[in-house]
Amino acid sequence: MVKKTVECLGWVFVSLTTLALIFTVLTTYQLVTIQYFNNYKMFQSFMICTMLIWAIKIYDKTDKIKSLVYSLCCAAIAVGTAFFMYIGVF
């Protein structure tokens, strides 16, 4: 039950992150004006959530080494994005 919920949440957040990227690019190039997408913070926020959910989704207790490495890579991307967001790098 929990595994299916995490898998579903993972794909929902991938879709939301993709939409956030599209809206950010459209707003950056001034093709449309959407208030919350005029900088990369919304996209970065969705990226952090997506990578954390995928880190949980990828981890599998049966194949420890491979899934642990992939989960740590997803978590590292999320932490790196949060760090750069915190220090103000866009």
pLDDT tens digits along 40-66: 999 999 999 999 999 999 987 778 888
Q: Report how many domains make up the chain.
A: 1
pLDDT surpassing 90 at residue 2: no
The pTM score is 0.89
CB–CB of 15/39 below 8 Å? no
Supply the range of the domain harboring residue 47. 2-87
Q: Residue 76 and residue 56: Cα distance in Å, rounded?
A: 13
Q: What are phi and psi of 34, to 5 degrees?
A: -125, 125
Are the beta carbons of 56 and 71 closer than 8 angstroms? Answer: yes
